[in-house]
Amino acid sequence: MLSTQNGPIGLGDLAKKTGLNPSTAFRLLESMRARGFVRQADGGSGYQLGSRVVDLGSAFLRSVSIWDYARDLADQLAEDVGETASVGVLDQGQVLYIAIARGQRELGIQSQSGTRHPVYCTALGKVFLADLPWAEAAAILDAEPMVGLTPSTIIEKAAMREELETIRSRGYAVDDEERNRHVVCIAAPITDHTGRSVAAMSISGPAFRIREQGIANVARRVTERAAEASTRMGARTP
């Protein structure tokens, strides 16, 4: 409750919002104040978070790593959708796949953890580009040629800039047969406490199967799982 306030909150308001009896709320606040988790604002106008909260937050952030959860996240998403799920990070201007799980029985997408792919032609990569200021994204795109791997590959920077704006507005990216013909991939960002994308997760499958399920339906499941992962990484719930 205190973390959502822009300033001090009085005892009465705090008791009302939490549903606690004022005397109970007071005892809890005094106990936390004695331990440094809350403090009274100057002039006794209310309570606000204390310095010990910063210590706890720092300890939590040090203990959290997407690498610890990546395999579980991929397994859960693959089971949800029944297709290949991947978790990747942006590394040296490329997508580094750190976990892959296969949920399909046949006609699956074959890839391995540790694989690297360009950012411009992958859904995961476009998620990372969309999170960056255009100048930084453009610098990554300039580092290697944007080669037309399929007729659908985006190879013009102006078109890519428009694509990234679309991704930011809808919250997910689609690789619509842009790296491999007949393969569709949908990805969403995993964010941390700063709101920046520390990783991304995706579903890939044969285009006919993804379209059969509906791109919007698959995207919803990907974004839901990515939101859950973001919460585990310390991101605030909207």
Along the 238 residues of the chain, how does pLDDT read in single tens digits? 555 555 666 666 666 777 777 777 777 767 777 767 676 766 666 766 665 655 555 444 444 467 777 888 899 999 999 999 999 999 889 998 988 998 765 554 556 778 889 999 999 999 999 999 999 999 999 998 999 999 999 999 999 999 999 999 999 999 999 999 999 999 999 998 888 898 999 999 999 999 999 999 999 999 999 999 998 888 876 5
Amino acid letter, residue 107:
L
pLDDT for the residue numbered 10: 63
End-of-domain residue from the set 63, 98, 114: 63
237 within domain boundaries:
no
- Same domain for 120 and 41, yes or no, is no
Q: Which domain holds residue 86?
A: 66-232
* Per-residue pLDDT, 60: 45
Is the pTM higher than 0.75? The answer reads no
Same domain, yes or no: 36 and 119: no
Domain count, the chain: 2
Q: Which of 44, 63, 82 is the last residue of a domain?
A: 63
Say yes or no: 107 and 123 in one domain: yes
Q: Which long-range contacts (CB under 8 A, 24 or more apart) does 72-75 make?
A: 73/99, 73/190, 73/201, 73/225, 73/229, 74/99, 74/100, 74/101, 74/201, 75/101
Domain end: 39, 63, 87, which one? 63
pLDDT of residue 194: 84
At residue 58, the pLDDT reads: 46
User: How far apart are the C-alpha atoms of 231 and 238, rounded to whole Å?
Assistant: 10
- 113 has which bridge partners? none
Are 59 and 86 part of one and the same domain?
Answer: no
Residue 130 and residue 30 share a domain: no
- Domain check: are 71 and 59 in the same one? no
Residue 12: per-residue pLDDT? 66
Residue 113: partners with Cβ closer than 8 Å, 6 or more residues away: 97, 98, 99, 100
CATH of the domain at 96: 3.30.450.40
